[in-house]
């Protein structure tokens, strides 16, 4: 079994246990359940913003601990002050050290789109995402049959949530794209081997239908890479580890985004006021 297979196998057991302990009717009583979402699609598409989805994660299967003691409150607020367009919050505990309370905390302190980053395989998790204050969910093409992915995307839309579908190659993109998606992300890191190649994004950007907001994910560590990806056609960029490995993730994000703005302005022949 590769790491993705292990995660999905664990997730099946986890979701079964959670749904037996916390019934859907209880989730639907959350103060967030009837709230309108903040559109990630709109925020990422806004040319006045950076397009960066800043991610909060404590660890990963490939890197181990990244920043286990980081504060969700300080980091998420700092990300938004630095100029992020949206937040991505890991809620998987077993493999990424996250929890639902992390997203609830981020929601409490920030008015911005929040992506629930998890391995969603059941409708229960989508209801749960809405109940903890998420605006958008992630559906991973490598983890779901195309028919099942479409069913889950349609269900998410019925709750008012937006959907980011993640692909790793052209085959996943061609077989899984559907009308219930809002954003399509290209993950430059293979969830099977954890090898990273930005070429994956460049190869797929023109194959993503233009009605979807295009996101490049993972392996982005330099501001000039964002300029190249933007020029290639991407509107959004998911960055987590590059910020989280710093002792002060929000400061790392601030420095990164400032340099990105300057490079983008220079590419357009403009100057940035400091």
What residues are labeled active site? 55, 57, 117, 166, 187, 217-218
- Token match 């009583």: residue? 29
Query: Which residues on neighbouring strands pair with residue 86, listed in sequence order?
Result: 53
C-alpha to C-alpha distances, 76 to 20, 63, 107, nearest whole angstrom: 31, 21, 9
Tokens coding 34: 């009837």
- Euclidean distance between the first and the last CA atom of the chain, given in angstroms as a whole number: 51
Give the residue from 216, 100, 96, 134 showing the smallest Cα distance to 167. Answer: 216
d(Cα 163, Cα 143) in Å, to the nearest integer? Answer: 15
Show the tokens assigned to 190.
């293979």
Using an 8 Å Cβ cutoff, are 72 and 55 in contact?
no
- Tokens 């993640």 locate to 166
CA distances from 156 to 107, 149, 189, 199 (A): 19, 11, 25, 31
Q: CB within 8 A of 124, min separation 6: which ones?
A: 15, 18, 19, 24
105 burial level (CB within 10 Å; 0-12, 13-18, 19+)? buried
Q: How far is CA 263 from the centre of its chain?
A: 24
């Amino acid at each position: 079994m590769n790491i993705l297979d292990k995660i999905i196998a664990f997730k099946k057991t986890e979701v079964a246990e959670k749904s037996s302990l916390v019934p859907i009717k209880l989730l639907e009583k959350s103060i967030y359940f009837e709230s309108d979402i903040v559109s990630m699609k709109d925020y990422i598409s806004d040319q006045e913003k950076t397009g960066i989805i800043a991610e909060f994660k404590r660890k990963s299967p490939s890197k181990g601990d990244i920043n286990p003691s980081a504060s969700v409150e300080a980091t998420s607020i700092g990300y938004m002050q630095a100029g992020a367009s949206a937040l991505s919050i890991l809620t998987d505990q077993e493999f990424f050290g996250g929890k639902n309370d992390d997203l609830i905390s981020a929601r409490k302190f920030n008015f911005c789109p929040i992506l629930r980053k998890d391995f969603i395989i059941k409708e229960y998790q989508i209801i749960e995402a809405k109940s903890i204050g998420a605006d958008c969910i992630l559906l991973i093409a490598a983890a779901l049959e195309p028919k099942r992915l479409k069913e889950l995307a349609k269900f998410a839309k019925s709750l008012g949530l937006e959907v980011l579908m993640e692909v790793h190659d052209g085959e996943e993109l061609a077989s899984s794209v559907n009308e219930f998606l809002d954003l399509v992300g290209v993950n430059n890191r293979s969830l099977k081997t954890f090898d990273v190649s930005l070429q994956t994004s460049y190869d797929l950007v023109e194959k993503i239908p233009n009605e979807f907001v295009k996101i490049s994910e993972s392996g982005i560590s330099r501001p000039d890479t964002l300029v190249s990806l933007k020029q290639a056609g991407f509107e959004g960029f998911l960055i987590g580890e590059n910020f989280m490995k710093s002792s002060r993730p929000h400061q790392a994000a601030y420095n990164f985004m400032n340099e990105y703005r300057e490079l983008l302005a220079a590419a357009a022949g403009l100057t940035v006021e400091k």
